[in-house]
Structure 1
Amino acid sequence: MLLVFPYHSGNNQIPNPYYRSVPQGQYYNPYSESGWFGWHYPIESEGSFRHSQRLTFVLVHGSWADAHFWDGVAAVLRSQGNIVYTPEYAGHGTDPNKNVTHAMITKSVVDYIRHLNLFDFILVGHSFGGTVIQKVAEQVPDRIKRLVFWDAFVLKDGESVVDELPSQTRNGFEQLRAMSNDDTIMLPFDLFRVLFVNTATTEDAKLFYTSVAPEPAKPLFEKLDLKTFYALQTPKSYVYFYQDNVLPQGEGYGWNPHMSIRLGLFRLIVGDGDHFTDTRTRPAYLAQKIYDASRD
C-alpha cells in the first residue's frame, strides 16, 4: 500500500493484460511488422454531429494509453468526412521497449507525419500528449493548421510533467517507479478509478483498466526546453472537461485556466466529462468538442 495516496489499492483482482487483444480503429504503428491495422468501431447515435468544413486530424494520446484510445472518436470524425490519423509513439502500444525518452516519443510522431507527408492538419494532444504536441510543433510548424489541447499539459519552458503534480502524487509516482523492474509506473486500480474515470460506472472503469499498461517513467520526469514552442504563432485551442479529476481543481493546479492560459490567445471549448470515460461512452460528444475547437 502506498501511504502517500489518499486511496487504498485494495485486493485488486481485475485482469490486466497490458495490451488489448481486440484493437479498433485504424492507425499506422511503426513498431509493428506490417505497420497498418484495419478495424471497425461502432458509432453510437448521440444527437447530430455538426460540421461545415472537413478537416484532417492527428490525434496524440497520453500516458497509460495507446493509439486505440482514440478509436471511437476517430470513427465518428471519419463518418463525417474528416480524415483522422492516430499515431502510436515509442514505448507504447506494441513497442516492447519501455526505456524511452521524451525526444524518442516526439520523434515517433514527427516521423509519422513526415512519412505520410501530412500538411494542414489539426494536431490534438490529450494529457501527457500535450507535451508531445508542444515538441512536435517545434519541429514541423509549417505543417500544422491548429494545435488542440484536451485536458492536456501545457508545460512552461524548463518544466517536466511531474513539476505540475501535487507533491503527494509526485511522491507516489516515485514510489511506483522504484517498485518496477523496468522503470515504469503502473497505476493501482483504485487510483486510476478516482482520477481518470471518476464519472464511469464500476463496470466501465474495470473495462477501461484492462487496457492500461505500465507507463515509461523517464519522460514524465524530463524537463523540456520549450523556448521554440512559445515563439510559434500557430493557432491554439483548449478543450476543458470540468469533471476531469486528474489534477486538483484548486489554485495553482488544474487544466483550465492554470494550463490553458499559457497558450496566450486561444479558443476555449468546455465539456462535462472526465479524463478517459467519454472516449468510450460518448465518442460523438467528445468528437464534437474537438471539432468545435478545430474548425475555422
Structure 2
Amino acid sequence: MQYKNLGRSGLRVSQLSYGAWVTFGNQLDVKEAKVLLQACRDAGVNFFDNAEVYANGRAEEIMGQAIRDLGWRRSDVVISTKLFWGGQGPNDKGLSRKHVVEGLRGSLRRLALDYVDVVYCHRPDASTPVEETVRAMNWVIDQGWAFYWGTSEWSAQQITEAWAVANRLDLVGPIVEQPEYNLFSRHKVESEFLPLYSTYGIGLTTWSPLASGVLSGKYGKGDIPADSRFALDNYKNLANRSLVDDTLRKVNGLKPIAAELGVSLAQLSIAWCASNPNVSSVITGATKESQIVENMKALDVIPLLTPEVVDRIEAVVQSKPKRNVESYR
C-alpha cells in the first residue's frame, strides 16, 4: 500500500480506502463489517469513510462497534464522516452552526470516538452563509472533535468562496474535496478543480470508482445480480439511469483491454482513478472479503497504465473533458 498526503496537509492516507455507503446497515451488520474492515487493514488501508446519513446513522454505529471489537489503535487509522442530512427536523440538516455542532456530536456518539480525523460538508448549503459554516467547522476543530475539514460535491466556486472567508478571518480552509470520479464522471476532477490544486492545496478522496458497480462488468441489460446494490429497492432508479445501452457498450469495449493486461475490469477502473496525481485516496466499497482482496490488487495495475494503454481506454470511453478552465482566484 502507498500512502499519500491529503492535499497540502500532513495527514497521510492510503491510496485506496474503504467507504460504508450502501453496505453498512443496508447489506451488512457488525459481524460482516469486522471481516471486511480487517481485510482492509491487512492490505494496508488506513482510511475509512462514513456519513451521518448512511443507513440513517446505523453505518456509523456499525463501523464504531467493529473498530472497538477489533481493538485497533486509534492513531493507526483515519476516520472521516460527513454532515448535511441528519434527520427530519428543520435544523437537523444543512450546514448551520447548530447542525454542524449537533451533527458532529451525534456522529461521534454513534462512532464511539472522541474525534474524527476529517469531517466533510456532505453537500453545499445555499440557505446558510458560507462564513457561518467556515466558522463552525473551525470551532469543532478547535474543540478537538476533528482535525481537518473538507467538502463533498461542492463546486470550485463554492470551495473558493470558503477559502476566501477562511483567509480573511485567519481560519482553516477545507483541505479536501470528495467528488465522484470514474471513467464516466470526470469533469470536476480533471477540469473544473484544476486551479484549486495549486492555489489551495486541495486533495481529493474520490468515490464511486466503479460507477456504482457498472465498471465491474457484472451488469448487463436486464441482468442485475440479486446480491448487488442495484437489486436494492432504494437503488432501482439509479440502476435505470446507469445501465443504458451506450454505457454498457463502453464497458464491453474496456473488457478486452483488461483481459490483455491480465487484470479484472474493476482493477483496471480503480487503478485508472488512483493514477491521477491529484487524487489522494480512492474510496472503494465491497460486501465480500474476496472483493476487497481483488480491489486492492488494483495498485499493481497502476504501472501497467502506459500512455498507450490510457489512449486505448480513452478511445473506448470518449469521456475526457475539455480543459477550458475558468479562473476562480
Q: Is TM (by shorter chain) over 0.5?
A: no
Q: Which has the larger radius of gyration?
A: 2
Greater helix proportion: 2
Q: TM-score, normalised by structure 1?
A: 0.34
* RCO higher in structure (CA 8 A, sep ≥6): 1
Q: TM-score, normalised by structure 2?
A: 0.31
